[in-house]
Amino acid sequence: MTGDPHRVVVEGYLGVLARQIIGRRSYKQDTRSKQTAEQAQARRDILVTLRNGILSSTHGIFVDAPDSLCEDPGADRLDALLCAVQAAWSWRRRFDGFGAPADGDPNEGWIADPTLSGYTSPTLD
């Protein structure tokens, strides 16, 4: 089967970006009895970091998002924002292979993140 060269699938892996921000701290839990104040604080820390411009140096992205993204202990909305940041980073590199590693196999996937793709600074459009 031959693929459509005009279609690109971008894989976001929110754990990569979350770990860049808060390390290996847990930030979500679906089971109510296992939800902790530490996880709630980790979610707030992620959002504050996303909004404070720190990603401008690595991703070339500025984020504006409401505090309410931290309210869900399952972090579905916050996870969506993390994936959107990775997708936006990749889209900004659409004329440069969507940020895929230069030595990557074109038949294999990659995770859209500058720290995994060999980029050291953003290319601003």
pLDDT, tens only, 72-114: 999 999 999 999 999 999 999 888 888 888 787 777 778 888 8
Position 62 pLDDT exceeds 50: yes
Residue 122: predicted pLDDT = 44
pLDDT recorded at residue 119:
60
Q: What angle do CA 104, 106, 109 make, to 5 degrees?
A: 75
Give the residues across from 13 on adjacent strands.
Answer: none
pLDDT at position 34 over 70? yes
Mean pLDDT of the 22-47 span = 96
Q: What is the pTM of this model?
A: 0.84
Residue pair 21/37 in contact (Cβ under 8 Å)? The answer is no
